Amino acid sequence: MSKKVMPCSSALRTTAAALLESAPDERPRRLKPPQPSPPTLTSSPVLPRATVSIRRLSTLRPDVSGVDVRLLHDQRVPMRDGVTISADVYLPLGGASLPTIVQWTPYESTRERFISWGVWLARRGYAAVVVDVRGRYESGGEFYPWTKDGIDAQDTLTWAAEQGWCNGRIGTWGRSYGALVQWQLAHLGHPNLVCVAPQVIHDDYFWDGYWTGGAFQLALTLGAGALWSSALALITGPAARDIVLNDRIFRHLPLIELDEVVLGRKVDYWRDWWEHQTNDAWWQKFHHRPDKLQVPIFQQGGWFDPYSGSHLRKFAAVGDRLPNRVLMGPWSHEEEIETFRGDIDLSASLTVIRDHELVFYDRFLKEADNDWDARPPLELFVLGADEWRAEREWPLARTEFTAWHLGAGGTLGPGEPGAGEAADTYLYDPADPVPTIGGVSSVLTMTQGAETPIVPGPRDQRVLEQRADVLSYTSGELESDLEVVGPLEVVLYAASSARDTDWIVRLCDVHPDGRSIFITEGIIRARYRNGTDGDTVELLEPGEVAAYRIRCYPLANVFRRGHRVRLDLTSSSFPRFSRNLNTGEDVGTGTRMEVARQTVLHTAQYPSHVLLPVIPAG
């Protein structure tokens, strides 16, 4: 049987032969040639202003309420190993030979949010396909995260291209797990794949994902591990606080037993995660490979989602060799950005993510003549200035990385520290951890039924700053606006009485009324301080000064005149991260706790500082 490959431009061409060679044991493909692209059913958003500020999308949209939609439920999709997985297909009534958008999920394809997604796209002239990943809900096979998602996605696209409702031009969409499936597919490729839109997802599964800075992301990893082995309602429903998401569970030790504590049985992948407590080859085989991407990409992220840095690093890695765009706003992990709140006004950021996505798909799946190509590669919302900015590279070429030093008396500023400044100390007791309030996290939906929901965002940190185990370093009132946009790093010189401990830093914008508004944060677990992204472990010598380079999440904020810049420092954020027990024992099996005496130095010899990505005025 001959294989017909969709023609494309030379810049985006990938031969079928090369793709088949990259996926061993692949079934022969029947790849449908492209059909004429139907006209777009949506108006284009307005063009950006000539200044650096970015517009909201136009509210002028076509009326599609009269477009009827039909569902093809539980279509069986054959995989190359004989397993079949389940796909739900949404089509405009009477539609055939349509551009097609596919997503994959472990969170139940017939969930309301996926039904509404399918209906929304079908009414706009697309075939929309929602697939339960292998081993979840209506799909066959056994679920084990990440291992077969790429080849299963390849087989899904081959199946879709053979259907009468598909014209051979296929794009992908997905948030969180649905985004990582796209990245697992991207390095394999597919002749019918035209464009991808992976949203809110990490790039490094260890250092940027489950062991952030070496610290175990407890709430996320426990929630995901339990959810992927049970049902959505167990974790996100109102009874979650009674069974899973409560203080009794989060405080349970040893951590490795939490699968049995929550579900009454061992979970294979949960146990495997504990077998790999460094960023070794087991984790690295899953890492995303933007260098292998061969089709246009649109990423959307949030400053208060843990994967903002991942999106911007992948944006930089793809560069300008492909159509490549990122939209980054002041929200977290959820698509419903209009409901996201903080302790500052975020209304200036409001936009509709689906409208951005629709223009992307119309441009590349329907070849519509819209404004996509004229848009800036980066659209970033800058807090403080409360406006969208158009940028072209990351980090910004005009950035001036400027060290602001910690100083005596809790000061912070660009001046050099004195030679003999006294160190600051506090006690960190893992039995009394600092609670997670605001900040960066991806578990707002997952913990909505928790005893204490974990709510991310720009929240006032004053209640935490009153604790004895939180140090604060604050600048004087700014005489002019200070714009800070880019990656952020804290260089910390500190000693601990413990063999292992955590260091957490948070950058805050202190308003004239006293509110200390969270902007960004970073963490490092001391045992990983001397390696590269968590690849080695070295315990501390108690009392010895060690140097830490703490990678924080990127930021975009204007500290206004009259405001102050503050850096908070502590050793826990619970239950977002598991508590460091300070003993240096195995993180999964340890149960013994010690109180650690923490010492922070800021002298000419040990110049602790935050490296601000300052954007010069004008």
Cis ω for the linkage preceding 395 (within 30 of 0): yes
Known catalytic residues are 176, 305, 333
Measured N-to-C along each axis, helices 177-186 and 149-161 cross at an angle, to the nearest 10 degrees, of 80
Nearest CA to 245 out of 266, 265, 225 is that of: 225
Classify each residue of 18-44 as buried b or exposed e, where b means 16 or more C-beta atoms within 10 Å of its C-beta. ebbeebeebeebebbebeebbebbbeb
Residue 319's contacts (CB-CB under 8 Å, 6 or more residues apart) are none
The token duo for 404 is: 């602001």
How far apart (Å, rounded) are the C-alpha atoms in residues 315 and 324?
Answer: 7
Residue 282's contacts (CB-CB under 8 Å, 6 or more residues apart) are 272, 275, 276
CB-based contacts of 391-400 (< 8 A; 24+ apart in sequence): 391/52, 393/316, 394/312, 394/315, 394/316, 394/486, 395/486, 395/487, 395/613, 396/485, 396/486, 396/613, 396/615, 398/615, 398/616, 399/485, 399/486, 399/613, 399/614, 399/615, 400/613, 400/614, 400/615, 400/616
How far apart (Å, rounded) are the C-alpha atoms in residues 422 and 252?
Answer: 38
Contact 59, 46 (CB under 8 A): no
Tell me the β-bridge partners of 87.
75, 131
Structure-token match 């413990």, residue found: 498
How far apart (Å, rounded) are the C-alpha atoms in residues 467 and 489?
Answer: 24
Nearest CA to 525 out of 593, 572, 595 is that of: 572
HSE, CB side, 13 Å, CA atoms: give it for residue 113: 12
Classify each residue of 67-81 as buried b or exposed e, where b means 16 or more C-beta atoms within 10 Å of its C-beta. bebeeeebbebebbe
Contact 322, 12 (CB under 8 A): yes
Quote the radius of gyration of the chain (alpha carbons, Å).
Answer: 25
Structure-token match 């944060």, residue found: 521
Q: Is 281 helix (H, G, I), strand (E, B) or coil?
A: helix
Residue 287's contacts (CB-CB under 8 Å, 6 or more residues apart) are 203, 204, 205
How far apart (Å, rounded) are the C-alpha atoms in residues 515 and 344?
Answer: 9
Cis ω for the linkage preceding 575 (within 30 of 0): yes
Strand ranges (DSSP E) for 21-97? 53-54, 69-78, 84-92
Residue 44's contacts (CB-CB under 8 Å, 6 or more residues apart) are 58, 359, 370, 371
How far apart (Å, rounded) are the C-alpha atoms in residues 438 and 458?
Answer: 6
